[in-house]
């Protein structure tokens, strides 16, 4: 009798469900320190949990915000939230996936029961770990240990490891033919940017857009604006080396704020007459958030905050910017209901409705994760 499953099962499976896996992971022991490649123990999945073998993971500016202390999380921790892998084992009660399935972990879960999940207007499931940030599973414990110490989870996913454990509400089964080293980007960066344009802003054909920040998420916003039929997409970044890729993906104009002696929102208003219809801040800086708002058309412009905001910082702005009619919106995971939408986005990729390859600049082994973050910080 298997105690975990409360049922009679073949003996080999009973052993499997009780097995602790030892594997490599990139552990962040404290803020402003490099990742340390360690051997960690990954506990078996408990009830309604799934253990995944991570095959590919992207790195995101949100991960870097934790390393620098701008996004406060408990330490020690295993970061990473943009990944794809294969189900290794499941806990009691799991029905949506089985061992061998290709899956994408979801840093925004979809429980299907809370107000946001039941509403057609929202996607931020109440089971997320973005607010309180406990770094623990739903039962208040962790599935990771290293050197006898408990290691915290990150956003319910923790993908900088060879194996991880997530709740069933935080995993989506995807096409078995999907290339995991590509579609892992649908776990965060691509979906976040693409959805910010299509789902949150609802960009219209013929509209004008401005995108602040040309990292992977900003480029994905450009892909979304182009797919929506925007007639003009203005890319804004202080790193002009990113302009060629932005134009390849659909930007019609590229401007560097360093090239002007006036505020960038004034430049954009002059370029477009009365400002853009839609703007997107995809950096995570309060000054660019207000600049993105100010560059919108004064009466009906919509500005979307996509970049994760820094901790303990507030925005001061002229309320007249909103009084005249502008809308200021936030977007988490592009507004997608994760468990429903991720398989559809993967299917769209397989049908060549959008590209992912241009978003991938480097491929490195887990042991070189610190080099990968150096490339991210260098804008490469």
Q: How far is CA 301 from the centre of its chain?
A: 25
Whole-angstrom distance, CA of residue 162 vs CA of residue 364: 14
Active site residue 62: yes
- Phi, psi of 307, rounded to the nearest 5 degrees: -70, 140
Q: CB of 231 within 8 A of CB of 206?
A: yes
Maximum separation of any 2 CA atoms in the chain, in Å? 74
Residue tagged active-site, from 81, 152, 153, 265: 81
What tokens were used for 221? 């916003």
Short-list 202, 204, 248, CA closest to 222: 248
Q: How far is CA 7 from the centre of its chain?
A: 38
Residue tagged active-site, from 60, 111, 184, 295: 60
Burial 62-91 (b: 16+ CB within 10 A, else e): bbbbbbeebbebeebbbbbbbbbbbbbbbb
Active site residue 65: yes
Active site residue 152: no
Whole-angstrom distance, CA of residue 55 vs CA of residue 373: 19
Active site residue 17: no
What tokens were used for 33? 């320190």
Residue tagged active-site, from 2, 14, 23, 62: 62
Q: CB of 77 within 8 A of CB of 154?
A: yes
Residue tagged active-site, from 65, 153, 167, 265: 65
Contacts for 321 with CB less than 8 Å, ≥ 6 apart: 290, 293, 294, 298
Helix, strand, or coil here: 243? helix
Q: What is the DSSP letter of 368?
A: G
Active site residue 146: no
- Helix, strand, coil in percent for the chain, rounding step 5: 30, 20, 45
Whole-angstrom distance, CA of residue 278 vs CA of residue 209: 5
Contacts for 333 with CB less than 8 Å, ≥ 6 apart: 107, 108, 123, 124, 188, 191, 192, 195
Residue tagged active-site, from 17, 117, 184, 188: 188
Q: Annotated active-site positions, please?
A: 60, 62, 65, 81, 188
């Amino acid at each position: 009798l298997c105690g975990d499953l409360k049922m009679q099962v073949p003996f080999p499976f009973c052993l499997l469900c009780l097995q602790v896996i030892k594997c490599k992971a990139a552990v962040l022991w404290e803020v402003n320190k490099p990742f340390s490649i360690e051997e960690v123990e990954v506990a078996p999945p408990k009830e309604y949990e799934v253990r995944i073998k991570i095959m590919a993971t992207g790195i995101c500016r949100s991960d870097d915000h934790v390393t620098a202390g701008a996004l406060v999380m408990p330490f020690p921790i295993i970061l990473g939230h943009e990944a794809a892998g294969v189900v290794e084992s499941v806990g009691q009660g799991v029905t949506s996936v089985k061992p061998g399935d290709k899956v994408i972990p979801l840093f925004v879960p979809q429980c299907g029961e809370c107000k946001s999940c039941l509403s057609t207007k929202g996607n931020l499931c109440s089971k997320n770990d973005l607010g309180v940030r406990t770094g623990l599973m739903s039962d208040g414990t962790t599935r990771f240990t290293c050197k006898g110490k408990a290691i915290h989870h990150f956003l319910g996913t923790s993908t900088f490891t060879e194996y991880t454990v997530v709740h069933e509400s935080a995993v989506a089964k995807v096409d078995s033919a999907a290339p995991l080293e590509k579609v892992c980007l649908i776990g965060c960066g691509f979906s976040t940017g693409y959805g910010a344009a299509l789902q949150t802003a609802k960009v219209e054909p013929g509209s004008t857009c401005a995108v602040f920040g040309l990292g992977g998420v900003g480029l994905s916003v450009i892909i979304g604006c182009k797919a929506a039929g925007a007639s003009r997409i203005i890319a804004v970044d202080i790193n002009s080396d990113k302009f060629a890729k932005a134009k390849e993906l659909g930007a019609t104009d590229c401007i560097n704020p360093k090239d002007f002696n006036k505020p960038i929102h004034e430049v954009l208003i002059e370029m477009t007459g009365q400002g853009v219809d839609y703007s997107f801040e995809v950096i995570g800086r309060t000054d660019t958030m207000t600049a993105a708002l100010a560059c919108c058309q004064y009466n009906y412009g919509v500005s979307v905050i996509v970049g994760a905001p820094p901790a303990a910082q507030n925005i001061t702005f002229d309320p007249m910017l909103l009084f005249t009619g502008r809308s200021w919106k936030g977007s988490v995971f592009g507004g997608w209901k994760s468990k429903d939408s991720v398989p559809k986005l993967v299917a769209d990729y397989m049908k060549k409705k959008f590209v992912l390859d241009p978003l991938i600049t480097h491929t490195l082994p887990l042991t070189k994760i610190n080099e990968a973050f150096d490339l991210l910080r260098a804008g490469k």
